Structure 1
């Protein structure tokens, strides 16, 4: 026999829509009749207690409603501004490109710039101190490429930005927006690095401007390309890890702590040349072409 246990409270309270079936069962079932009687006693006790309590004055409810209506939400929501690119349509190519670059400032967080500038300043100071021993090129080659790779990962491979940028960027291609951000980051890092290099030229007359610039530009290219590609296609932590692994291999190769054959391969990857530049361009192109086709539901999401 199925007992309508869950219906007995409503039956005893007299609010059951169709009590006929339950009433017939209670008449034939002593167990359910006793339980229904218990619920009736509960109903009587609650009704008696409620009747003994005076109803609150209407003014209390009015005051509560006034306070609720006057209260303003104090929740601080941190949002990222979404740039608008529609105004760039129809302009001259160079003006449109400049507009895309400047609007990327709103999406690159300030810690990215702060850490990059701090690394370059520290690297420049250390290079100046060791310039008398001719070690300034090695210091620049160690600090600047790593700072660029970390900045690229933090700015281009982010998973924290609103998906609404895709809508805001229309009809500008998200690939173009991504390239603009990469160009902005590398342009700023490169410009600051050149300023540091120019300041060190008087202290390194042997190496000169070209020697100092070539020392950090060579490893900067593969490290930034690797960081950018893996950060966009996977996640920033992967890009940073791969870039730091290559950076560490180069550091070990410079100190002679690894096998000569491996050191030669690493040095070849970090030396400016047609092969290195072509390989870096291919990596960047692959990341840019595939970025709009990334699965929308992945944990990592680029800023589109």
Structure 2
């Protein structure tokens, strides 16, 4: 019988609240501590769920015993927090990415794999029911040899400047999900990458942070498919997330999700519901599914669906995209 789990939540920002809702809906676990150096935010979140607030992780561990930790802190703290947890034998659920640099990710990966403690990286598309169905169809072989993958990824609007300033850029923040999806579908063998990044939405703002809002990316896997990604941080019609995988025997598509499935018709034509506004609405069920996977890991009934090594492969691909865009050349890696 699964045990009732005690969890430590590290970070009290927007994504932390998403995970709080998931745990409350799933049951079988309770966040008993919230760690955040900002006492006002940390205390407020802790009080809302009946947990205790601590200013740092070591303080929390000295006061309580946990079954697992959820890392929802700023990106720059992820790697060190992962290491601190696994050294204590504490399984981890961590928001992406591990870090912005491969050197730091590799150092963290070494610590994690030496510890043998499970770490789940929260790339939420791997937990989306529709995306998982596409993955299962691709891996079943029914499509035959996969020849082409098409991804469309368009956010409804630019994030606030305060977010852009520390996000790590469009490639490592937004497009990393698409790149992770490619490694999940196509593997981690050798690739060629050609990328073009532009500023159409707010050129002065994005130039200030050496960031971009529009991308056209081609990834060609050795003895595998050609993959094309079209992305924008401005979509007037809502959150646009589409996927198509084409093989020798057929294809599978993952369409957009609308606020309703109802379609009305009149003399003027057919009218459907708008798209969901953004990722919190589109992937709400996926956030719950990734947390379900983590609770199952803690109960020794499952393995993490996405690991630190998986997250590393996506970052390698992101670095190739950035290098290609900077040089204007096609670039290669023998392995992701």
Q: Same fold (TM over 0.5)?
A: no
Query: Greater strand percent: which structure?
Result: 2
Query: Greater helix percent: which structure?
Result: 1
Q: Which has the larger radius of gyration?
A: 1
If the TM-score is normalised by the length of the shorter chain, which range does it land in?
Answer: under 0.3
